[in-house]
Amino acid sequence: MKQLITIGIFAALWLAGPAFGQELTDEEARAASSKARAPDSSATRSVRDVSTSPARFQRAERAEDAPDTQREIKGGLLPGMASLVPGVLLHGSGTFVAGDRETGLKLLKWQGISTLALAASFTELVLTGASRKTIWLSAPTVLLSFGTFTQTWLADIYGAFSGAHSTGSAALALPKLRLDVGYRYVFDPQFDYRNFTYLAAEFWVDRVRVSSQNWLALDDANVRTGLLGDWRIIGPTHDEYASNGSTLDLRMGARFARFGGEGFSVLTPEVQMRGRLDLGEVGRSLEGAFADASVGLGFEVYDYDAAGLPFGSDVNSLLLGGFGFGLYHDVGNPGGEVRLYYDHRHDTYAGGAHLSDLGGGVPGYFGIETHFDFGHWGIGADLKAGSAYIGGLNVRYNGWMPMAPMPTVSESEGSP
Partner 1 sequence: MKRLVVIAICITAASCALRPAQTRAELDEQVGKTEVAATSWEVRDGLAQFVDEQPGELTLWAQAPMWSLEADPADASTTTWRLRLNNVMPDGELDVVDGDATVARVDQPHPTRQVWDVTLDADGPARFEFAPPDALTAEKWRFAALSDVQEAIGTVGEIFARINADERIRFVVSSGDITDIGSAEELSRFQDELRALDVPFYTTTGNHEEGSPDDVWPKLFGRTNFHFDFKGTHFSFVDSGSGTVDPLVYDWLDGWLAHARDDVHVFIAHIAPIDPVGVRNGSFRSRHEAAKLQQMLAEGRVDLSLHGHVHSYYLFERAGVPSYISGGGGAIPERFDGIDRHFLVVDVAPSSGVDSVGVVRVD
Residue numbers of the site for partner 1 (CB under 8 A)?
84, 126-136, 139, 187-191, 257, 259, 262-264, 266, 297, 300, 302, 304-309, 313-314, 316-319, 346-347, 349, 351-358, 360-363, 365-366, 385-389
Residue 138 CB, nearest distance to partner 1 (Å)? 9
Q: Which is nearer to partner 1, 375 or 386 (CB)?
A: 386
Q: Provide, rounded to whole angstroms, the least separation between the CB of residue 112 and partner 1.
A: 24
Triad 212, 215, 221: Cα angle to 5°: 135
Select 18 or 263, whichever has its Cβ closest to partner 1.
263
Nearer to partner 1 among residue 221 and residue 309 (C-beta)? 309
CB of 161 to partner 1, least distance (A): 13
Can you tell me the distance from the alpha carbon of 33 to that of 53, in angstroms, rounded to the nearest whole number?
A: 8
Least gap, CB of 283 to partner 1 (angstroms)? 26
Nearer to partner 1, 134 or 195 (CB): 134
What is the closest distance, in whole angstroms, from the C-beta atom of residue 142 to partner 1 in the complex?
A: 11
Query: Closer to partner 1 at the Cβ: 6 or 268?
Result: 268
In this complex, which beta carbon is closest to partner 1, that of residue 70 or of residue 316? Answer: 316
Q: How far is the CB of 300 from partner 1 (least distance, A)?
A: 7
**Is the CB of 87 or the CB of 378 nearer to partner 1?**
87
- For partner 1, give the closer residue by CB, 198 or 328: 198
Instruction: Decide whether 16 or 309 has the Cβ nearer to partner 1.
Output: 309
Q: How far is the CB of 94 from partner 1 (least distance, A)?
A: 14
HEC profile for the chain? CHHHHHHHHHHHHHHHHHHHCCCCCHHHHHHHHHCCCCCCCCCCEECCCCCCCCCECCCHHHHHHCCCCCCCCCCCHHHHHHHHCCCCCCCCHHHHHCCCHHHHHHHHHHHHHHHHHHHHHHHHHHHHCCCCCCHHHHHHHHHHHHHHHHHHHHHHHHHHHHCCCCCCCCECCCCCEEEEEEEEEEECCCCCCCEEEEEEEEEEECCEEEEEEEEEECCCCEEEEEEEEEEEEECCCCCEECCCCCEEEEEEEEEEEEECCCCEEEEEEEEEEEEEEEHHHCCHHHCCEEEEEEEEEEEEEEEECCCCCCCCCEEEEEEEEEEEEEEEECCCEEEEEEEEEEECCCCCCCCCCCCCHHHCCCCCEEEEEEEEEECCEEEEEEEEECCCEEEEEEEEEEECCCCCCCCCCCCCCCCC
CA–CA separation, 151 and 157 (whole Å)? 10
Q: Residue 180 CB, nearest distance to partner 1 (Å)? A: 23
CB of residue 351 to partner 1, shortest distance in Å = 3
